[in-house]
Structure 1
Amino acid sequence: MDALDTVSLSILLGALLVLAGIMSSLVALRFGAPLLLVFLLVGMVAGEAGPGGVRFDDVRLAYTVGSVALALILFDGGLRTRFSTFRSVLAPSLTLATVGVFMTAALTAPVVVWMLGLNWLESLLVGAVVASTDAAAVFFLLHGRGLRLRPRVAATIEIESGTNDPLAIFLTILLVELLVMGDRPWPVVVASLLGQGFGGAALGLLGGRATVLALNRLALPQGLHAPFVTTAALTVFGVAQAVHASGFLAVYLAGLIVGNRPTRAHNTVIAFLDAATWLAQIAMFVLLGLLAWPERLLASGLQALAVAATLMFVARPVAVFLCLAPFRFSWRERAFISWVGLRGAVGIFLASIPLLVELPRAELYFNIGFVVVLVSLLVQGWTLAPAAKLLRIALPRAEPAPRRVELDLPGQLEQELVGYHVGTSNPYLRRKIVPSWAKPVLVVRDQRVLAAAEAGAIKPGDHIYLLAPPEKAQALDRFFVEMPPPPAPDPRLLGDFVVGAEVTLGALGEIYGLDIASADRDVTLADHVASQLGHPPHPGDVLPLGAIALVVNAEAGGRATRIGLRLADPDPEPRRGRGRRLTRLLVRIRSLARALWEA
């Protein structure tokens, strides 16, 4: 019976710790604190050295939970990444995720040698442990703090954080093996690196395709689609790790495949993974916090602070500026990407690997990694929003997201039903503008269900339901928030956002905060494009309009029928002005040549 009581108490204690983490998140959101830091502190307070007095030294359990949590986080990150976004920033993101990780570790190592007296191999191990940015920290702080970044900057940061973990993990494990087993020939090291990378990529692509095929073909009972996808993700990760491929790369690519294919219960899977990743993060951070001893952290605190300062102010910025030099990023964008090098679960997780294999000085590596993560979450996590404002990279979110109802429609995968409450001050009610890919079908008014044509004009208090592609449903939120006209354009909708050419300039001005002359407010986009281009419109023609740009998406009979919207670059580099003017001139010449050819 004593054994049963011990198990019951362990379950109770674990549930209370997770509950404490969840409840503390409400306080953290209220004061803007990084949630991951809160979970770490909950574990430290509950630990043997804290008031809780819980004795915990099971590094293997912490490593196992951490592996599962990171796999789910990376799968969820891939699931939310659109291929169109991925392709547009593939080169800079992968450069940061590969060359940037190596450079960050190499630039951190000399400070470790000087401050801690370790040899170069041990110092490189410390640099590798803290070299990668953390997907969980980055995803949460970018979305949870209400930041709306320029699309290319946000995509670069998110994809880098999702793809640099596999390389950092490989580099750490390689250095640990070298410290345990001695020197290995460099051809063997390179072959191992390539094998893990290609193996993880192949298994991730195959696993993602198999998951999509099974999800759409199998007649699973209602409610089992999301657990099936989550389990499939962990299966891909486990298989890759078992054959010594990169499981973290495999699970990220599997999520990328699943997220960009039409699947059943897409939004149910997203919601389920939100909860699963939250619980996994809480469990992982609480366990890692339990492993930490505050007095041991203080013993090497000054050295760890020096490493953290080097990482934040020297290694990461130098790596980012050099890696992004070949790409068209302004200095403000590069400075912000440098500052968003948040460390989190990955750093502490990697720092636990030397403990797991019982390396000499393993506790020192763990303490350094732990303090670096704490400092990064405190300093960078709390200053992320001010840095974005200072560098003019983002606008703060001023409105709460509306409550969105999403319903899958059995029998097809291309559309779902998306519902919103229509308030008195939302953009849809003011101008009745929705993207061309969203079709109103139902209206609920005064307890009655009406067809869209039957309902007539939408009124405040209505509930409207629209057909939209599942991957674009979230973009509709911007039209159903309670808000005044914004002072600047909203970058979240610009990109794949398309409107009909019959929309007026005045309507766009109200939605996007554009200064439109009163005489032009009733001019349609089709008429505006025709008058400004000077030639028949062709898909791809670009026309600036204040802080946004109009892109001809489709035309018929010599008139534009659909117009896409995207941000113009608000911070052009002066030295690139001539190049941009030349680019615009070439575009006009190409459009004129095409018109002459077709004529």
Structure 2
Amino acid sequence: MAIFLTVAFLELALAGTSSQALWWDVLLGFAMQLGLGALLGMIGGYVIVTVANKVTLEGALYPIAILAAAICLFGFVGMVGGSGFLAVYAAGLVAGNSKMLGQLGLRRFMEGLTWMAQIAMFLTLGLFATPSQFLDVALPAIASAMALIFVCRPLAVWICLLPFGYKRNETAFVSWVGLRGAVSILLGIIPLAGGLPEGNLLFNVAYIVVLTSLLVQGWTIRPMARWLGLIVPKRIGPVERVGLELPGGAGHELIVYRVVKDSPVLRGERLPRWARPSLVVRNGRSMRFQYAGRLQEHDLVYMFVPPSYIHLLDKLFASPAELTQDDADFYGGFSLEPSKTMSALAQAYGLRTIPDDQKDVSIADYMKQKLGGGVEVGDRVGCGGLDLVVREVNQHGSVSEVGLVVDQPDAQAQIPLFLSGKDMWLWARQKISRRSVEAEPDD
């Protein structure tokens, strides 16, 4: 959207006139760009996944072939009048959420390439910059950056997220994480490359805006998330492991764990039957797990497991987490059995806000319904003055451990802005009820 708007307004500025036909061309181009870009991008993503799973290539050529296919998709969609940027983005969404051969290595390659591309974009930004011209536009550019940071982006984010029920602190955090990277740089270069007479001025302004956003927002993301109470404390310590995806779509990965000090397996915790190690390397010598005896610190343990079970093994091979009182307050001081019914919870804590049709539902299913079907560690569900917190999620995506928070933690800051649609509805209903009571005549 940002790229299209920049290019559209650049063409309007270069045209020098503003007629009804010109605006009609812009609207038609908008529909063509987004429509063809999204449609052909999704089709292209499915084609890339299908071909990648059927064609056998050398391991090093596989990521290059996927990248070449994405570039061809970008060029083809642009040639027929669509948005190549949106097409590649849509294809990436489709391919990234599909099963592909060599997905682990491909993901690492693309992550490295992404960082390289962003570094190249920032280097290009520096090459185009003329610091001697910054003083002339410094104050207006910084004022524009402050307006974007504190007014424009928060307002736009609040309006966009209003129908989706986000909490105030969540909306505040999303509004604080502004654009500071390659997209902003690209948008600043487009007018300069398009030959706009004031393109250099716009580029200098964009440069200062990006730099200001990096300094103000980039360095304060973690403190902001902590102040808003949005950081989920880790329940396990660091894990030392390396994964290798097996060829042929076997559905398993070769995982190598290093046994660390004070980990559960070092203290004698038994490994599950589905995760029997195939090999143990100790002091440079390899041996079968049956003959290795009790695992020792610094041992390398090789095992073949499905990817969905890896997070369960992480708990066994992880070092102890450094839990604080704040972490305990976040997850709750009490643990609940997820299979218990909501009626049992209501009876134990005197809850009266649970609907009758949900009293026989398990706590795990109740939380999953309230969270829209997707459950993550740290998610909370309010329940009549109590908070149910997701402590653990099993390999099937269901809640396997629930924490209970009786008293809300005081550390979470409340933002007096960003009311959700539900908050505004409750506020309006209270106002109407209060006015109705005041309007009633006294007996």
TM-score, length-scaled by structure 1: 0.55
CA distance in 2, matches of 1:374, 1:257: 33
CA distance in 1, matches of 2:30, 2:182: 23
Number of equivalenced pairs: 378
Q: Which amino acid aligns with 1:253?
A: A
CA distance in 2, matches of 1:340, 1:531: 41
Deviations, residues 355-374 of structure 1 (Å, cap 9, x unaligned) = 11211211111111111000
Match of 1:336 among 173, 185, 198: 173
Q: Which amino acid aligns with 2:105?
A: T
CA distance in 1, matches of 2:74, 2:404: 40
**Contact preservation (8 Å) 1:489, 1:547:** no
- In structure 2, the residue matched to 1:540 is 365
Match of 1:321 among 158, 161, 166: 158
**Contact preservation (8 Å) 2:364, 2:400:** no
Aligned: 1:442 with 2:278:
yes
Structure 2, unpaired ranges of 5+: 346-358, 369-380, 382-386, 426-443
Shift of 1:532: 4.6
- In structure 1, the residue matched to 2:8 is 174
**Contact preservation (8 Å) 1:485, 1:513:** no
Q: Which amino acid aligns with 2:280?
A: V
Using a 3 Å threshold, how does the CA distance of structure 1 residues 456 and 213 change in structure 2: closer, same or farther?
Answer: farther
CA distance in 2, matches of 1:435, 1:341: 45
Shift of 1:414: 2.4
**Contact preservation (8 Å) 1:420, 1:463:** yes
Structure 1, unpaired ranges of 5+: 1-166, 491-508, 555-561, 580-599
**Contact preservation (8 Å) 2:261, 2:319:** yes
- In structure 2, the residue matched to 1:40 is none
Give the aligned CA root-mean-square deviation in angstroms: 4.1
Instruction: After superposing the two structures, state which structure 1 stretch, 218-227 or 423-432, moved more.
Output: 423-432
Equivalent residues in 2 for 1:58-457 (5 A)? 167-181=1-15, 182-183=17-18, 185=21, 186-395=23-232, 402-426=239-263, 432=269, 439-446=275-282, 447-451=285-289
Shift of 1:334: 1.3
Using a 3 Å threshold, how does the CA distance of structure 1 residues 280 and 456 change in structure 2: closer, same or farther?
Answer: same
**Contact preservation (8 Å) 2:280, 2:287:** yes
SS at match of 2:163: coil
Bigger-Rg structure (1/2): 2
**Contact preservation (8 Å) 1:197, 1:249:** yes
Deviations, residues 505-529 of structure 1 (Å, cap 9, x unaligned) = xxxx9xx965358xx9xxxx58867
CA distance in 1, matches of 2:280, 2:111: 29
Shift of 1:180: 1.4
Using a 3 Å threshold, how does the CA distance of structure 1 residues 188 and 454 change in structure 2: closer, same or farther?
Answer: farther
Using a 3 Å threshold, how does the CA distance of structure 1 residues 461 and 532 change in structure 2: closer, same or farther?
Answer: farther
**Contact preservation (8 Å) 1:488, 1:513:** no
Shift of 1:448: 3.0
CA distance in 1, matches of 2:268, 2:88: 43
Shift of 1:568: 8.4
Q: Percent of aligned positions with the same letter in both sequences? A: 35
**Contact preservation (8 Å) 2:237, 2:321:** no
TM-score, length-scaled by structure 2: 0.72
CA distance in 1, matches of 2:8, 2:270: 55
- In structure 1, the residue matched to 2:431 is none
Shift of 1:383: 1.0
Using a 3 Å threshold, how does the CA distance of structure 1 residues 429 and 239 change in structure 2: closer, same or farther?
Answer: farther
CA distance in 2, matches of 1:298, 1:398: 49
Deviations, residues 305-338 of structure 1 (Å, cap 9, x unaligned) = 1100100011111112222222222211111111
Deviations, residues 527-567 of structure 1 (Å, cap 9, x unaligned) = 8679957969598354988632678998xxxxxxx754578
Shift of 1:347: 1.5
Q: Which amino acid aligns with 1:515?
A: G
Deviations, residues 415-453 of structure 1 (Å, cap 9, x unaligned) = 2222211212346656959999x84443414333435x7
CA distance in 1, matches of 2:317, 2:91: 33
**Contact preservation (8 Å) 1:539, 1:551:** no
Deviations, residues 109-130 of structure 1 (Å, cap 9, x unaligned) = xxxxxxxxxxxxxxxxxxxxxx
- In structure 1, the residue matched to 2:430 is none
Greater length-normalized contact order (CA 8 Å, ≥ 6 residues apart): 1
CA distance in 2, matches of 1:568, 1:307: 45
